[in-house]
Chains A and B, each alone.
Chain A
């Protein structure tokens, strides 16, 4: 079958011989609009449409970030923020996996816990901040816990649903072939729920970045969120914009990493 398709396509392929090269650079198209925006931004600041104390020129932002990087200050902020996000995701996802598995497998656990967790997920992230400050002080624990709350819900919700929705057909196969409870979980239920789990982790990482800003804006002496609020206090829009770009960069990087894992595991 493959050979007939190939011969049929041979002529078309010959004509399009140059296309694969063009396809390879296709992702670059995604940079066209952002580049145009940066150029427009530069022009608007340079021509005085925006005052420089409100919106710094793009080059100014780059200079500021470079200066912070060269002095070594930047890396401390980046490192502590990444550490908080990492620990928060680790904690939140672990609890999410534990509770998601429990409610996915046990109807009683689902009846007991799910309504509560479903309503807690609707509490906005900032609403937790005062309570966490009161309970855990302004230390690292409070921030990591807050981020963990953010990362928990997507993981919990997706995994619980994923386990609950494992196809009845496959469960019957496990029953007929006497896999037993443990083996059928290991061979059928958990592998079937892995894609849902990864979707949840991806969502959890995204929310962790939102929650880390909430935590660092309000109570921190280091971190990108602190840098952000410091920029406001110092009336330094270049620091503010630079911090936002850092969040954008790191958020995208972590999303790409999880997506890559997802592709490797699910896309096989």
Chain B
């Protein structure tokens, strides 16, 4: 349903820039240790995500899941070890290649939904261009907020605000999309809808996705691979390949097996 706006958007160069990362994994983390003062949030984490791969990171709260995303998004500059996006060290590339959907909506309170989503448009897209406007409106529709384009964040429920934030992340159309529990504030039905929509976008765009969640079912349903973080400080407990064909059925036996493995790795 979003194909109408996409054709008009000059996004062709996104795919042309990608070949540089054919040899390097899209996300590469080696021996990542991150401290906040005395507290060690992550301890020697290794992770490699191939281009176009969908990886979920699960773990109990406080295991450093969000910290991992913050490092990858270029927001944390001080850490030990290596973290690279598309072969470039994040300390150098910053957040140029990644889009991030934060755990909180983080919307501009004074701007309406349309303007908030437009914040995510890449810098080279003219925001006043009718095609860009169509694209923003399409995204608002795909996250199920049609009719709310002119609403302000204060008029939205928590779940709706989170979907605006998701639309903003999708508008950015990055090489790597980082998602920090984007669906945790949604009711089950909306959550399922938004998960499927994310899978559509991912399949269509070939974006590399790293999703942090505490929802085992969600991780198994969405991801190619699930990284289980555990303990405090956070370390990689297990990496589980989800063996199920796409498009997936939520009751697929492969998903159930993966869920059992994840739950075991979490020590539940």
Contact B102 A268 (CB under 8 A): no
A172 CA to B76 CA in the complex, in Å? 10
Closest to A170 in B: B106
Chain A 152-187: CB-based contact to B (< 8 A → 1; otherwise 0) = 000000000000000001101111111110010001
A10 CA to B172 CA in the complex, in Å? 47
Chain B residues near A141 (CB, 8 Å)?
none
Contact B108 A176 (CB under 8 A): no
Contact B73 A176 (CB under 8 A): yes
Contact B110 A179 (CB under 8 A): no
Q: Which of B57-111 contact A (CB under 8 A)?
A: 73-75, 94-96, 98-100, 102, 104, 106, 108, 110-111
Provided the pairs A170-B108, A191-B110 are in contact, do residues A177 and B119 lie with their beta carbons within 8 angstroms? yes
Tell me, yes or no, whether B168 is within 8 Å of chain A by CB: yes
For the complex formed, measure the closest distance between the CB of B169 and the CB atoms of chain A, giving whole angstroms: 9
Provided the pairs A172-B75, A175-B75, A191-B108 are in contact, do residues A180 and B123 lie with their beta carbons within 8 angstroms? yes
Q: Which of B144-161 contact A (CB under 8 A)?
A: 152
Chain A residues near B96 (CB, 8 Å)?
178
Tell me, yes or no, whether B120 is within 8 Å of chain A by CB: yes
Q: Which of A172, A173, A194 makes the CB contact (< 8 A) with B119? A: A173
Chain A residues near B120 (CB, 8 Å)?
177
Provided the pairs A172-B75, A268-B152 are in contact, do residues A177 and B99 lie with their beta carbons within 8 angstroms? yes
Tell me, yes or no, whether A188 is within 8 Å of chain B by CB: yes
Q: Give the interface size class of chain B.
A: 20 to 34
Provided the pairs A170-B106, A172-B75 are in contact, do residues A183 and B98 lie with their beta carbons within 8 angstroms? no
Q: Which of A170, A172, A177 makes the CB contact (< 8 A) with B168? A: A177
Provided the pairs A180-B123, A268-B152 are in contact, do residues A169 and B102 lie with their beta carbons within 8 angstroms? yes
A173 CA to B164 CA in the complex, in Å? 13
Interface secondary structure of B, over-half rule: loop
Interface secondary structure of A, over-half rule: helix
Closest to B168 in A: A177
A192 CA to B95 CA in the complex, in Å? 23
A159 CA to B152 CA in the complex, in Å? 24
Chain A residues near B99 (CB, 8 Å)?
176-177
For the complex formed, measure the closest distance between the CB of B184 and the CB atoms of chain A, giving whole angstroms: 17
Contact A175 B119 (CB under 8 A): no
Provided the pairs A169-B106, A187-B119 are in contact, do residues A176 and B75 lie with their beta carbons within 8 angstroms? yes
Contact B102 A173 (CB under 8 A): yes
Q: Which of B95, B110, B111 makes the CB contact (< 8 A) with A176? A: B95
Q: Which of B74, B104, B110, B168 has the most chain A CB atoms closer than 10 A to its own CB?
A: B110
Chain A residues near B74 (CB, 8 Å)?
175-176
Provided the pairs A176-B99, A179-B119, A187-B119 are in contact, do residues A194 and B110 lie with their beta carbons within 8 angstroms? yes
Contact B75 A178 (CB under 8 A): no
- Taking beta carbons and an 8 Å cutoff, which residues of B are in contact with A? 73-75, 94-96, 98-100, 102, 104, 106, 108, 110-111, 119-120, 122-123, 152, 168, 172
| 9 contacting pairs across A/B (C-beta < 8 A) | A169-B102, A175-B74, A176-B100, A177-B99, A177-B119, A177-B172, A191-B108, A191-B110, A268-B110
